[in-house]
Chain A
Amino acid sequence: MTTVPTAIDEPPAASERRFWRPPGFVRFVLRRLAALVLLTLGITAVAFVLTQLVPSNAVATNLGEQAAGDPAAVQAFKHHYGLDRPLPVRYAIYLDHLVHGDLGQSSLTHDAVTHDLGQFIPATGELALYSVLFAAIVGIGFGTVAALRRNRPTDHLLRVASLAGISMPTFWIALVALYVGFFKLGWFPGAERLDPGVSPPPSVTGLYTIDALIAGKFSLFVQALHHLILPALVLAAFNVSLLTRFTRSAVLEVIGNDYVRAARAKGLPERVVVVRYILRAALPSVITVLGLVFANVLTGAVLVEKIFSWPGIGQYAYEAAVNLDVPAIAGVSIFVAVVYVTINFIVDVLYGVIDPRIRIT
């Protein structure tokens, strides 16, 4: 009769004793951070080139017709702003200004671009925050429920709903929401961050809801929230659908895994199995989409802010683009790009936090 192979010694063989390396999480984060810095530098280069593409305008707009016709005056102007220097030097000057928070002056508002950005970013930030928060909670929730109830009525209903949300263009949803929610029903205000004539809470974060709470003005908080609901929901609609669909498929991919079965075999309650075992494993894919959702919200803000007269960066960008306000365009570009890069960085780090296998690569 056969027996098991002979070299049986109970302690594991040396070849089996491969062990782990120290967690390199700090190294992982630093590497991603370095990538972040490099990317940001690249972005400034692009923004710089953008400002250089329209150099003659700078002379014309700044000097006036008379002086622009005088070569000596033009020469003096260019020298003063370093425009006669070689490109790398000009880039260095540009970077130096940037580091000191100087993005030039908007030809439209005649204010420093950084001042304008500081004015408009919080409005967009607040809108985006609520929108993403809503999309994340509802989308991930819907997607999970759809996966757990796959091929049952709930799943079918959610599939139809998310398909509708993905196929309807945002401008259409915005107009319908405005028409129904504001014009027909009058349930929601149709424009601005607060009712006309109401002054905002003392600025701490620039987010009215939070500042109102800090100032202890609850009614102001409610009003700010009331103004946020419609535009935030409109911005979220597409993203809820996106997250529902991606979460559903991510959960379905995980749900049949052996470790889920093993968790049930251990007698763990269903809630623990779903949250700790299934959602945990589905999270990396969901987070990727969440990064995308952030980007979507920023892009969508241009349109939604225009429709809801929301005084945010989207409107500012729109006006800058229409009026060829080059410093403003460059400023907005840098801001948006930095936001994107930062989101990517956060997503990368979150991968590492969630999935230990990524940290060592």
Chain B
Amino acid sequence: MSVLAVESLRVKLPIPGGDVTIVDGVDYDVQPGEVFGIAGESGSGKTISMLALLGLLPEHSTVEGTALFAGKELIGMPRRELRDIAGRDLAMVFQDPFTSLHPMLTVGRQLSEHVRRHLHLDRHAAEERAVELLEDVRIPDPRAALRAYPHHFSGGMRQRIAIAIALACRPKLLIADEPTTALDVTVQAGILRLLDRLRREQDLAVILITHDLGVLSSIADRVSVFYAGRVVESGARGDVLQHPRHPYTRALLDALPHPEAAKERPLVAIGGSPPTPGHIPSGCSFHTRCTHAVDSCRVDVPELRAVSDRRLACPVDPFSA
């Protein structure tokens, strides 16, 4: 059984002068113990689709669809019920460790307050748990770190702390929203290795969001590619990243610095820019930037269909094997 099964997730956010659709019918499921990668350009709705699960969207947002988490429907769940799941079974690490930790609260407090609440531990037990967690994420001198404040740590260390906070109650699913985007490349690698080890040790499922397919190629089991609030291609990591079939996935990969293929293939930037919410092109939202588009792409919204080893939202399918 999947840890999380999301179907037809649709999110509209309020903007001055009406609602705007940010996530437009997204389907995916996450299996226990796997790293599920979500890739897509900035603004494609990755973060919003996750916030929708945790009920963290701005006021007056509308969410449709279903999201079954451990047998419970998250969409429309009352806040007080959701509060018992959030931070306990379903945890999230945010994009920017410089803003996601409270600057005026000690690391120890931020590490243990939800542990005490969710797991009903007393102060001492919660502190022991906090030390254990900091050791787990390789923070030197964990006991001293408990009394320190976030600004005492570098970005990489802060993200380790944020991960420790997220894992504190042994969640079933960790949503890691671009956990390395704000960090140096060398630090990034350490964080990814850490996530990879933790999920193996703790039988943890991870949703790893990124706009860097290179990150996914190292640790994701399965990958979904988002474009303008929709999934355009999804499947096993090897299939999707080694033999991309959607023109957008291919373009994303071509835009990536390629150590092995550097000599043969030049870097290709994707022409045009991603559509902004409220100005999504008709038909296939990628058709304006797609070199393989045919007339029907401008009219028909492509469905995400199962094709051989994956799911694909491109009827043209120019790269079919």
Contact = CB atoms under 8 A, between A and B. Distances in A.
B241 A264 contact: no
Contact of A2 (B117, B118, B258): B258
Nearest to B86: A267
A357 B103 contact: yes
Contacts of A3: 214, 217-218, 259
B319 interface: no
A265 B79 CA distance: 11
Contact of A356 (B51, B104, B188, B219): B104
Contacts of B260: 1-2
B190 A265 contact: no
Interface string A277-295: 1001100000000000000
Nearest to A359: B149
Interface string B164-197: 0100000000000000000001111110111001
A354 B153 CA distance: 19
A6 to B, nearest CB: 8
B187 A267 contact: no
B69 to A, nearest CB: 13
A261 B140 contact: no
B185 A5 contact: yes
Given A10-B138, A10-B190, A265 B153 contact: no
A266 B92 CA distance: 8
Contacts of A153: none
Q: What is the interface of chain A mostly: helix, strand, loop, or mixed?
A: loop
B193 A356 contact: no
A264 B152 CA distance: 24
Interface residues of A, number: 42
Contacts of B5: none
B218 A280 contact: no
A111 interface: no
Contact of A1 (B140, B141, B188, B217): B217
Contact of A259 (B84, B100, B149, B256): B100
B157 interface: yes
A356 B149 contact: yes
A176 B40 CA distance: 64
A281 B195 CA distance: 30
Contacts of A12: 138, 140, 156-157, 160, 187, 190
B16 to A, nearest CB: 12
Contacts of B56: 261, 264-265
Interface of A: 1-13, 15-21, 257-259, 261-270, 272, 276-277, 280-281, 354-357
30 contacts: A1-B241, A3-B217, A4-B189, A4-B214, A4-B215, A7-B186, A8-B190, A9-B190, A10-B138, A11-B138, A12-B187, A12-B190, A18-B153, A20-B148, A21-B152, A258-B100, A259-B101, A262-B94, A262-B100, A264-B86, A265-B91, A267-B84, A267-B86, A269-B117, A272-B113, A281-B102, A355-B103, A356-B149, A357-B104, A357-B151
**Interface pairs A-B: 5 shortest CB-CB:** A20-B152, A267-B87, A266-B87, A258-B99, A267-B86
